[in-house]
Chains A and B, each alone.
Chain A
């Protein structure tokens, strides 16, 4: 790809970061950043931090923050795939831990929203340390896509 696309990509990256990280308190607390994006695909990175460690004996990040990373990335991939802005909510998320994570390394999640219907979006994701061929975790999630009409967007308590 030509270098002339880079400024535009950086601008889009900044906007995505504002949307998925800046405006979401927990994503901000985890210092998530946009690692990559393309249509229907989003990659977010979770930097390694001592206060996110689950087992001090190994220094490995807790599964909980990897769950948050995967949930955030999958949700972002859904939003990237919608033709118009819609409110979405996670219906379910399954995560398989296929290999132990390594200490002192950031975790990257690549999510692909491979199908969007009127009301539901389907996502597959994998988390890794930079080598996509060697994932730590694989995941699949489904999301409810709420209608555009605010009056019929119920289903959640006030």
Chain B
């Protein structure tokens, strides 16, 4: 299944497995998503190769950025009308606390979703959504089919 077919399949079934299968990097990172109370919640499954500081151990900051960006894209694809993947214009990641060697979850919110540009806030947490490990503000260009 190619990426566009996967986007269609996800919108029909609400099962994001097809999307993860279609994106090599998502498989490499163990990043997937599921619907929780009607909202897209992304998840990065812990794996030893995600560690940045082995002595703590703590996850690599870049992996949190990757999850936050992916979570925004998954949510945009879920709510979008086209099968084109939105292009990241920019992303600012704030690191709030060290992320431990376990799964990380992320949820995105649209602060504004126009025809061409979407402004998105993304929150990543481990045990408690009220204690995020990282936040992102990102802008995406919405590509027409």
Contact = CB atoms under 8 A, between A and B. Distances in A.
Real binding pair: yes
A29 B49 contact: yes
Interface string B1-29: 01110000000000000000011111111
Contacts of A100: 87
Residue in A28, A50, A72, A157 with the greatest tally of chain B CB atoms within 10 Å: A157
Contact of B62 (A55, A69, A91): A69
A91 B25 CA distance: 25
A94 B69 CA distance: 12
A64 B70 CA distance: 8
B92 to A, nearest CB: 4
B28 A26 contact: no
Interface residues of A, number: 40
A89 B52 CA distance: 11
- Tell me what chain B mostly uses at the interface: helix, strand, loop, or mixed: mixed
Chain A interface SS verdict (over half)? mixed
A56 B24 contact: yes
B62 A64 contact: yes
A67 B69 contact: yes
A54 interface: yes
B52 A24 contact: yes
A83 B144 CA distance: 51
7 contacts: A25-B51, A26-B50, A51-B27, A63-B88, A70-B62, A94-B92, A97-B87
Interface of A: 23-29, 50-57, 61-65, 67-72, 75, 89-97, 100, 155-157
Interface of B: 2-4, 22-29, 31, 48-54, 56, 58-63, 65-67, 69-70, 85, 87-95, 97-98, 100
